[in-house]
Chain A
């Protein structure tokens, strides 16, 4: 076997051009996967950050009924609200790693500029608490945040442009209050924001909590309390701990970590796309290897016959071809990993601005990213793609190698 291994290694150098070309194909496939994996990883990280920073925070305290209704019926009910009283605030503040908490009153509304009307999501907020949970304060392109108690609103620049509104203009929000009665909320636009979150830019109108509460007739109740922690990775553990404590205040309450939000689940769907790319890459590698083995076998018919005349069994002939193909897989895999390492290092350092490349704002397409996307390192992805490429090279060569080894020795010896 050692001699056959040596022979297989020598054969790698024998058809140098073919080995190099097949290795390049495999290396390119590995590189593509690593780049895609890094970019998707970077995009996911940025998307998580965007959703956490502008919409979801790290934890949400809500009533279970509200959570289910919001999730399943895609409604924003006003009858399953909670009271953000001193007891609840105290419990939340005692949470390990706690940074800030902000109440929110969410409602569906129709935004009217006097001429046109658009369905929007209204959010009643406490501007001070909101500013400490969300990263909105630096995203104002015009105006500023309203003060508590004012009859003023903040909305996304894109929504304002769509409705031909600007700072100082007045808007009317048509809402249904808790009793189901239509009501209107009037407000002056205090500021316009442009964030990396397309939902904030084009769907949401922020109002002072008191103004929204009055218009919806919900007293001082809120839909949810959003909590920001020092570290997002501790969210799941913190949620479980906090939930057991807040249930003692109101047993309808539940606490959900950021990664259970629907928007996050949607981002995770990109993983499926990654699997498809992965399968395509393995297929490319397999085709390259099968092609190489068949060509090598056709060229070496006389040799295969001679090896069989020397007494080699089929499995030993197969072994030499499989080892040779695996060698190509290893060479291509290593080259791909090296190229991938350099590329990911560049991506992680300099990033890539797809928006600038395409000459447009990619948040328009619903991607919650503004500016550059930075690659992330995923060593497990490197190991995975390398292992699978080598394994694919090995497996893909077995069948053509058997085809070659099973040839009639007489025909192969006298093959010209």
Chain B
């Protein structure tokens, strides 16, 4: 069964007297375990699409089926629960909580799902921090970490609860190419090992090199949807 089914998805922003269409009718199906990149020029609707898929925003028209469940039928509270249990986010600006350590930032996400006991939480958090290469840095606060390390914490936070879907909006935009590569390698590894579905929104060719599916969006519509048998980096 597909993880995501988008049908006739439209989003129009009302800016005073002007209506700005961001998505004009997107039909898309994403299977579990896909590593997908959405690319396109600025203002093409990439971030809007990610926000709709991630239940952060609601469409003007069309339907989204997430794991068979129509998101349009859910209220705010239920949408929050879908995000809590099934979706991980990675943003360009990390959005880590500055008063919490790297460990606590990651712990925050897993605490919310109320599924594991204290020892399991510790093992999982330490495990994911090790996996993203932050072993030994768990007690550092965000202001004591580099940009790449912060983004790794954000990735660990998105992955620790083992969500069905991770949405990453321009995750490499603030990183140098070496760090970008390290971060992408971590996510690709998670995709392979855990079967987590990743959808990226990006301009970065490096991110596209890692993807097995490339979707180009132009003017709020899918212009191209290309699948690759192998990615360009890891094969």
- Chain A residues with Cβ below 8 Å from B47 are 414
User: By the criterion of a CB under 8 Å from any partner CB, how many residues of chain A are at the interface?
Assistant: 22
| Contact across chains for B95 and A413 when beta carbons are under 8 A apart | yes
Interface string of A7-31 (1 = CB under 8 A from B): 1001101100000000000000000
Q: Check: B98 CB closer than 8 A to any chain A CB.
A: yes
Asked, given contacts A410-B51, A413-B91, whether A308 binds B80 with beta carbons under 8 Å apart, the answer is: yes
Asked, given contacts A311-B85, A312-B80, whether A410 binds B56 with beta carbons under 8 Å apart, the answer is: yes
- Chain B residues with Cβ below 8 Å from A68 are none
- Chain B residues with Cβ below 8 Å from A312 are 80, 84, 112
- Chain A residues with Cβ below 8 Å from B100 are 7, 10
Q: Check: A291 CB closer than 8 A to any chain B CB.
A: no
Q: Check: A409 CB closer than 8 A to any chain B CB.
A: yes
| Contact across chains for B76 and A309 when beta carbons are under 8 A apart | no
Interface string of A374-416 (1 = CB under 8 A from B): 0000000000000000000000000000000000111001100
User: Which residue of chain A has the shortest Cβ distance to B52 in the bound complex?
Assistant: A410
| Contact across chains for B80 and A11 when beta carbons are under 8 A apart | no
Q: Check: B194 CB closer than 8 A to any chain A CB.
A: no
| Contact across chains for A311 and B112 when beta carbons are under 8 A apart | yes
| Contact across chains for A311 and B95 when beta carbons are under 8 A apart | no
In the complex, A312→B82 CA distance in Å? 10
| Contact across chains for A313 and B97 when beta carbons are under 8 A apart | no
| Contact across chains for B99 and A10 when beta carbons are under 8 A apart | yes
Q: Check: A151 CB closer than 8 A to any chain B CB.
A: no
Chain B CB within 10 Å, residue with most, of A302, A309, A314: A309
| Contact across chains for B108 and A11 when beta carbons are under 8 A apart | no
| Contact across chains for A413 and B99 when beta carbons are under 8 A apart | no
| Contact across chains for A309 and B83 when beta carbons are under 8 A apart | yes
Q: Among residues 87 to 131 in chain B, which have CB atoms less than 8 Å away from a CB atom of chain A?
A: 87, 89, 91, 93, 95-100, 107-109, 111-113
Q: Check: A310 CB closer than 8 A to any chain B CB.
A: yes
| Contact across chains for B95 and A303 when beta carbons are under 8 A apart | yes
Q: Check: B57 CB closer than 8 A to any chain A CB.
A: yes
User: Which residue of chain B has the shortest Cβ distance to A3 in the bound complex?
Assistant: B111
| Contact across chains for B97 and A311 when beta carbons are under 8 A apart | no
Asked, given contacts A313-B77, A410-B57, whether A302 binds B93 with beta carbons under 8 Å apart, the answer is: yes
| B139 nearest CB across to chain A (Å) | 14
- Chain B residues with Cβ below 8 Å from A11 are 99
In the complex, A408→B85 CA distance in Å? 20
| Contact across chains for A306 and B91 when beta carbons are under 8 A apart | yes
Q: Check: A305 CB closer than 8 A to any chain B CB.
A: yes
Q: Which residues of B contact A (CB under 8 A)?
A: 47, 51, 54, 56-57, 76-77, 80-85, 87, 89, 91, 93, 95-100, 107-109, 111-113, 157
Q: Which residues of A contact B (CB under 8 A)?
A: 3, 7, 10-11, 13-14, 302-303, 305-306, 308-314, 408-410, 413-414
Q: Besides the contacts A3-B112, A306-B97, A310-B109, what 10 more A-B pairs have beta carbons closer than 8 Å?
A: A3-B107, A10-B99, A309-B91, A309-B95, A311-B81, A313-B77, A313-B80, A408-B57, A413-B56, A414-B47
